Amino acid sequence: MKQDPENFNLLYSRLILDQLFKYGIKNFIISPGLRNAPLMIALKKLDDIHVSVSIDERAAGYMALGQYKATGVPSVLICTSGTAMANYYPAIIEAQKTNTSIIIISADRPKELHNESSNQTMDQINIFKTLTKSTLNLPIQDQGISLQSSYTQVERYIRKALAEEVIHLNFPFREPLDTTQVFISKQLIQEFHVLINSSPSRLITKDNSVVKLDKNLYKDKNGLLVIGELNSHLTNAELEEFRLFIKSCPWPKILDITTSLKYGFSLEDNNFPSFDHPEVYNAFQDNCPDLVVHLGGKLTSKKYHEFIYNCQAQIINISQDKNSEKALSRVNQYISMKPHEFAYHCLKQEIIFSLRDENYLPAIKALIEPIITTKVTLIDDAPLTFPKISKHIVEVIAENSDLYLANSTTIRSFDSYSSFEKKKQIRIMTHRGVSGIEGFLAASLAFHKAKEKKMPTVLVLGDVSFLHDLNSLNLIKESNISQNSFVIILINNFGGGIFTLVPFKDDHNIMPWMTTPHEYQFDKICETFGIRHDFVFDFETFENLFTKALKRPGPQILELKVDNKSDLDIYQKLKTVRL
């Protein structure tokens, strides 16, 4: 039997953390401090939990994102008082935009110290008020507190977290912050034990088995099936429902890179490349669909959103994402349903998707397929560039591997890839909520460690993203990954190369301010943290080292030196291909 808590802080901390544990929340990420010591001591009383330590709260926030992508269960961030929690802000913005649940527990100083403007005090209660309404400021722990009242309030907030919300619990602690003994009444101790030994309230979920879909809505239509961003923690069974649904639909399809479905289908399956290919945009513009059925959230391609805004097709969006309605430029009908449930009910109810015009699909293929053949040849003949790197990674990594993609040029390069006949199941992770470039080292590492299947994880990012997350090299060093490979493909083109790819009239020579050119190489800093690092200067070396890296356990970094002029040249050729 575990001993009774020594003081009010430890009693309260143990009670709340035990409550989280009862709801299956077992990942805790601590950042160092003193005011949060009672919470750390309480964690030591719990068994079968996973505790990570991050000296950098910004990285810790992204670790929570990565863990949620792997498990679908919220992680708990624990920090000290003052500015510590402000560093979570970028990750919390991303979480709010992508319906990712994170639980923040911030230690605070008591009210009397706030009134005196004591050291390390600030308004912690309202710091996330624009991102979540679920902030609970817990009472000071003393002899007169009602444990049952606080216990009930916290339980209500935990349920919000399990329903894909960010929640914030603020704990004001008076001293002592350690295990110093303080008298606690027998009545309070008894109430503590009753609550500790209680079971969580039963949660009743909505039954979607009675959903009825319109059987004629999708019949005899020149349609376009589009699947945008989905929840990253869909189960294998839910993804399989999608695959069966996609196979059953004879319409042309656009599958976004974020869906984890894109590479499981080829052009033979009528899975077309993204609208960022001018030929794809023009083909659908010349053969405008009657109906676009768009499942999920936004697409990586901006050109798709431009297309649906300008075309005459009816747009149906199926989603329960609170941000989805705003994500599409035009919607005629919004169906509030999880996309994988829509796919399931279409199969179960034998909803018919059929084409009105037998020439519709062949006309689109005739415009797109010859161009893609030419583009594949251009990429194969190119030097070490983003399009060639992304194509090779997709073709080489094993079935059911995990690919974590950074933003900017990286994700667009992978989204543009398409194959005539090759198919492979690859799970894709990224951060498309607000498309920031930071946090990818921390998030991908946390994802890799938390996922169940121990297949390789490959992170692909650029040099500017890498620079933003250097603190996370310490996390990688301390990660003790030894059973499976965690490969980081660092594409170094010495600055923000994406800005050279977008149309921009630079009359005042501000491009250097936008691209932030540098001359950094990252071998020495990797050596400092004891992380394996290899330089790659050409494609043949990349082929060789990448194949070896996938078979070698542990973290490793391949730094690919990419000439920005060569990269710009291949993109210009790919955009201007004409028969």
Q: Which residue has the higher pLDDT, 235 or 274?
A: 274
Cis peptide before 503 (omega within 30 of 0): no
Q: Which residues of 229-247 are buried (b: 16+ CB within 10 A; e: fewer)?
A: bbbbebeeebbebbeebbe
Per-residue pLDDT reduced to its tens digit, 98-134: 989 999 999 999 888 876 777 778 889 999 999 998 9
Place of tokens 């969580």: 200
pLDDT of residue 325: 59
Confidence of residue 1 (pLDDT cuts 50, 70, 90): very low
Please compute the mean of the pLDDT values over residues 201-208 and round it to a whole number: 56
pLDDT of residue 208: 53
Q: Contact, 254 vs 185, CB < 8 A? A: no
Q: Is the pLDDT at 204 greater than 90, yes or no?
A: no
Mean pLDDT of the chain: 91
Closest CA to 288 of 315, 324, 269, 319: 315
Q: Is the pLDDT at 205 greater than 60, yes or no?
A: no
Please compute the mean of the pLDDT values over residues 77-81 and round it to a whole number: 97
Percent of the chain exceeding pLDDT 70 equals: 96
Q: Contact, 473 vs 50, CB < 8 A? A: no
pLDDT of residue 579: 35
Per-residue pLDDT reduced to its tens digit, 394-423: 999 999 999 999 999 999 999 999 888 889
Q: Which residue has the higher pLDDT, 496 or 273?
A: 273
Please compute the mean of the pLDDT values over residues 454-464 and round it to a whole number: 94
pLDDT of residue 141: 73
pLDDT of residue 202: 63
Q: Is the pLDDT at 207 greater than 60, yes or no?
A: no
Confidence of residue 323 (pLDDT cuts 50, 70, 90): low
pLDDT of residue 206: 52
Per-residue pLDDT reduced to its tens digit, 470-523: 999 999 999 888 778 999 999 999 988 777 777 788 888 888 888 889 999 999
CA distance 85 to 36: 12
Per-residue pLDDT reduced to its tens digit, 58-71: 999 999 999 999 99
Place of tokens 């319409």: 251
Amino acid at 1: M
CA distance 408 to 306: 19
Does the pTM of the predicted model rise above 0.85?
A: yes
Q: Is the pLDDT at 543 greater than 90, yes or no?
A: yes
pLDDT of residue 66: 97
Q: Is the pLDDT at 247 greater than 50, yes or no?
A: yes
Closest CA to 385 of 411, 418, 413: 413
Q: Contact, 76 vs 16, CB < 8 A? A: no
- Could you give phi then psi for residue 334, rounded to 5 degrees? -115, 120
Please compute the mean of the pLDDT values over residues 165-186 and round it to a whole number: 93
